[in-house]
Structure formats: structure tokens, C-alpha cells
Structure 1
């Protein structure tokens, strides 16, 4: 087994040494490091240099556009792939298929796609999308069927409940066809994932909950005659020792004002997302008992929508937890830290070598040239 590790590009309000909130329609708060090309290039190159395969870029009203951001960053990096999150309700299936083809072909195959149906109706209405949640998933099903057929080189006639195309054929077929990543905890989401996803994503819940999700999606996919890979989205706080890591978690928690927690939690409790409800249930808005499983900390979710848990511990302990999730069937890990630039090095230099020694990760980076020893007399002679 060789696990895949991906990083995160903080286009959702920028980056900094404290938890940057936002997501699901919430303001991100102050960050300190802007989400501009110069800084995001540093993060992307740090991910690339530390052995990460790709970087997830989020989508929504609370962040920069993922397509444009990653298109720019593809020109300032060399090998890193970009996991572009996008919403099928705000772009036509033909245009999305064409954009993916252009991106893939002009970046030499560095595109992956994260399909997000949208969990907040009030945010969707900002984009002019007035469907309810279940209808959004039915439309997503139609969308992905059209896109898949276009990528297969078909001329597509399709007339569904929400989408229609006539004699649609694509001149920009992506090579290779990008993998589709898809998450969602509702019954409607599971059905779409089973039919169309290459990788099903879950947020960082305790292993027992993750195992149940994997079994659920595997069963639905088997009914469709398909197999699916599984990935998990989490934050990381990894240090040389466990005490250092938990001290950093305590520092992040101390930087979160109690009034901010209450304000954010009020907003998140209105979320339509089943996954968000599961995140909230891990801590219930309380600062107490945030270690919900060994080395799994729910503190991030106090002020951040979406992925709200972090792996916290020594490099060995974090590697142990990753191995535990891998044993359940998780093959891909989408990770982040605060700040994302330094965090890529903490994980890349601390945890990945341990996983490589255990045979769980293979370093695909080009071999680096190292100078020979300087030919002077030995010291002391």
C-alpha cells in the first residue's frame, strides 16, 4: 500500500498562526497572511517539496475562486496537482467538462476535481441557485452523467429533471480524465457518490464512525457494480514530542474568544449539511473534552465550518493514527495546519519519513542532487 497525501490551499480568508474560521457562509475572521499568488505559491511549493501529491482548493462565497486560483498557481509550481472544488449548480455541465479539459491539457495532467453540491441554501441563492438540498443532489447526478459521457468522447443528448443538452460533443477531452472526489453524509449524497465518485471523502471523525461510512458507501457502490477509494480531510498539529503538539493546540484554543465560538456555533447549527451536524456533535460547542479519540482534537470546529478535527501528537503518534485509518480503508489524506506553510514542513519532514519506513508511503519526488564532501584534510589534522 502507498497512501496519498494532499495539502490545502488557504484561499478561504488567508492564513496565519491562529485558526482561520469561515466556511458554510461564515466570515473567516482575521488571518494575517493574504490569499494572494505570492503567498499561495509558497504554500503550494512547500507542499510540492515535501512530497504531497495535490492541494485542495475550497469553493464558496467565502473564498477565492478555485478554478482561477489554481490556474494561476499551476504556472508557479512544477508537479503539484490541484484538487479543484466546484459547485455543479453554478456552471453548466458542458462548460465544466470543457474547463476541466482545458485545465488538464494545459497543465500536463495536474487536475483533480472535488464536486460540492452545496450544503447551505442561503449561500446557493447568492449564486442564483434556488433548488432545495435533495434537488441539488438529483441535479448533481444528472450533471456528472453528462460530464462523464462528454469526457468519454460521446455526443450527448440528455433531457433530465434539471439539465438538458443537445448534440453536445467536446473538443477538449482531458487527458487523463481527472478523478472525481465527492463527500456527503446524507442518503442523497451516498447515492450520487456510489454512481459517480472515484474517491469518497469524509471529514475527520473517530475511526468507528469512519468505518461505518466506508461500509455504507462500499455497499451502495457494489449495487452499482463499482468500487470506490476513500479519503479523509483533517488538520494536523504534529511536533517532535506530544507535549509540544498539545501545547500548540492549547495556544490555538487560547486564541479563540468565547464570544466568537458562540457566534460561529449559532451559524453552524443552521447548516443543512449532515456532515456539518456530525462535526458539531463531536464537541457541542464546548471547550471541554476536545480530545474525542486518542490524538484526535475537535477544537478547530469551534470556529471553522467544514473539517473541524485535527490529528495532534508527536510525529510517531500521528503516524500511528494515520495507519489506523489506513487499516479501515482510507487511502488518501487531505491535510492542513496553521499556518499552512510551516505545517507542510512539520508533517512532510516529521511524519512522512516514518510512514515511508513503515511501507505506507512512497516518496515520488525526483531524487535530489547532493554535493560530495568537501576534499579538505580531516578536522583536527
Structure 2
């Protein structure tokens, strides 16, 4: 299976000062650039500070032909029966191009933003019940569902649903190996050191195999790819200025020997935050960034694929420019030209 690529639509990537009524045109422009460049999917984050991923997906269905749309929606934001109906509508509009990511609400402030007051154990009980209802409603053949549980009560739910292929489900690795093995189609893992990533995927695979299932794995990375390695690290240094003040002295844990070795050989100051060759950690709360020449970035992507990743979600400032740069300079190193031109997004 070849490595798939997605681009992340970030609200922060919208041009400053742009009137909110014009933002939808920015999203359409980015989606069309992502499709033109040969990406497989566009990832639509959800939650506080982000546009409604369901509505953005609906709008972009009409402006793309083959691009997959992976939308992220906290389970607290919508009832499972309503979400099932909305997903079916989106699947019809998009000809089956929509996937659903239910993020872990224990991370960050998602639960507080949506009024969730349950404790951790209750939230896990609720997400299990939520997933059970959602997946039963979306299974074929479509049948009405009566449900009387602790958190949800339904009568004749699912009336009007059709026999459509269900949207693939993405769950975060932090939701637990057993839940992922039994419920998820794909697992969203934390990007980082390649060896640690491989260990995480191997552990999750063991749980999935015990449940008689197979999982795909996705991770998020920033990207700075340039003509030369020096140009890429110069750009990383410029971006580091935005993180330096609030994060000085704090760094996500990486193998101490690797960090020391990289720091000793670093000729560029930004490389002191390099946690793996061509993987830069700008700040503890940020995703790692692929930094290097086009061939170096392509080599690192192959290494990540070898560690078990099936899809990588990329992001960068000046999104349209970087999307086209990646499509023109990096994708041809990873993918035969014929495959790039005929690939169908899911």
C-alpha cells in the first residue's frame, strides 16, 4: 500500500485581516490546490477556534471531484443519531469521499468548550455508547434502532438512512488500545521520533490482530521543504522565533543520546531542536516538522511509511504555496507520475 498524503486546513492559516465572509473562498482555493497538487485528502480540524468541519466539508464537496475530506468533530458537539444522518448526506454529496475523526476530548479544552461536565470514566463510558450507536446506525442494511442506555435514549432512530458505505472512523491513540482495536478503522498517532512511532504502531497492531481486525495509521507533521537543506533550516529558524519566548527551556522528551548527537553536529541553531534527522520540534505542544531539501524530505517520508504510517497529514504557513511546492517537488520523488494523475481520493 502506497503512502497517502493529506493537507490540514487551519483557521490560523487564513490571511490576517480577511473578512470572515471571504474565508470560504480561501478554503475553496486551498482545497482545489490540494487536489491539483495530487494529495489524497484534506483534513478539516474541529473544535474551538475552528470553522464547523461538517459545514466546510459540505461546501467543499461541490468544489472538488476526487479529493477525500476527513472531518474532525468532537463527540460532545453532536448527538450520534444526528451525526449519522449528516454523515450519510455528506457521503451522498461527495460520492463517498468523507471520513470521520472523533478526537479525544480528554486532550486540551474540547470538553469544556462544548459544555461537557462528566469525569474521565464517565466520558469513556459515553464515547463507547456513542460509538456503538453511530456504527450500528451506519451499518448496512439500514434498520431503525431502539436504544436505552445510560447516556442516550433513542426510539426508531435511523429512519430515512440508506444503505451507503459507512464513513471510515479515525480515533486518537490516547483513547486506548482496546477501544481502537474494536472500533477504529484508522488510528491517529502522535508524530515524533521514528523509532518511538514504530513501537507505538507495533503495540496497537498487536491489539488489533487480537481483535481480528486491521488498522491504518495517520500522523500529523509540519513541513519545510526547500531546494537546499540550508534554505530549509533558515526558514525553520525564522519560524522558531514565534515559539522561542513561551517555550524556552521546555522540549518534548526525545532520546537523550540522539538529541545530544544532533546538537553537537548542528551547524544551524534551529537544529538544536532536531529530534531525529530532518525532524524538528519547534515547541512541546506542536507537531514535529519535516525540514530539509526535497530529496531529504522524501527520504524521511519513506522512513515514516516504513515505520508503519499509512497516511501523513501535512501543514505549513502560506498553505497554497507550500501545497503546490510539495506537489511539484516532493510527490514526484515518491509516486510515479501516472499514479499521481489518476489517484482517486477516498
TM-score (norm 2): 0.86
Higher mean displacement: 143-152 or 73-82:
73-82
Q: Are 1:228 and 2:215 matched, yes or no?
A: yes
Tell me how far apart the structure 1 counterparts of residues 205 and 149 of structure 2 sit (CA, whole Å).
27
Q: Are 1:324 and 2:313 matched, yes or no?
A: no
Partner residue of 1:143?
Answer: 130
Structure with greater helix share of residues: 2
Partner residue of 1:212?
Answer: 199
Closer/same/farther in 2, CA of residues 309 and 49 from structure 1, 3 Å limit = same
2:13–2:319 CA contact under 8 A, matched in 1: no
Q: Are 1:343 and 2:325 matched, yes or no?
A: no
Closer/same/farther in 2, CA of residues 147 and 253 from structure 1, 3 Å limit = same
Tell me how far apart the structure 2 counterparts of residues 366 and 145 of structure 1 sit (CA, whole Å).
33
Cα shift at 1:89: 1.9
Cα shift at 1:122: 4.6
Partner residue of 2:6?
Answer: 6
1:205–1:309 CA contact under 8 A, matched in 2: yes
Give the alignment partner of residue 84 of structure 2, picking from 97, 100, 106: 97
Q: What is the 5 A alignment of 1:74-153?
A: 74-120=61-107, 122-152=109-139, 153=142
Closer/same/farther in 2, CA of residues 170 and 116 from structure 1, 3 Å limit = farther
CA deviations 1:78-127 (Å, max 9, x no partner) are 32221110011221110010000011112222211111131347542231
Q: How many residue pairs align between the two structures?
A: 328
Tell me how far apart the structure 1 counterparts of residues 323 and 151 of structure 2 sit (CA, whole Å).
42
Closer/same/farther in 2, CA of residues 98 and 257 from structure 1, 3 Å limit = closer
Partner residue of 1:362?
Answer: 339
Cα shift at 1:194: 1.2
2:104–2:171 CA contact under 8 A, matched in 1: no
Closer/same/farther in 2, CA of residues 353 and 203 from structure 1, 3 Å limit = same
Partner residue of 2:42?
Answer: 55
Unaligned stretches of 5+ residues in structure 1: 17-30, 266-278, 368-381
Q: Are 1:241 and 2:255 matched, yes or no?
A: no
Give the alignment partner of residue 70 of structure 1, picking from 57, 66, 69: 57
1:154–1:169 CA contact under 8 A, matched in 2: yes
Tell me how far apart the structure 1 counterparts of residues 35 and 19 of structure 2 sit (CA, whole Å).
20
Cα shift at 1:160: 3.2
Q: Are 1:281 and 2:256 matched, yes or no?
A: no
CA deviations 1:272-320 (Å, max 9, x no partner) are xxxxxxx84359xx97821000000001x35xx4x52111111111111
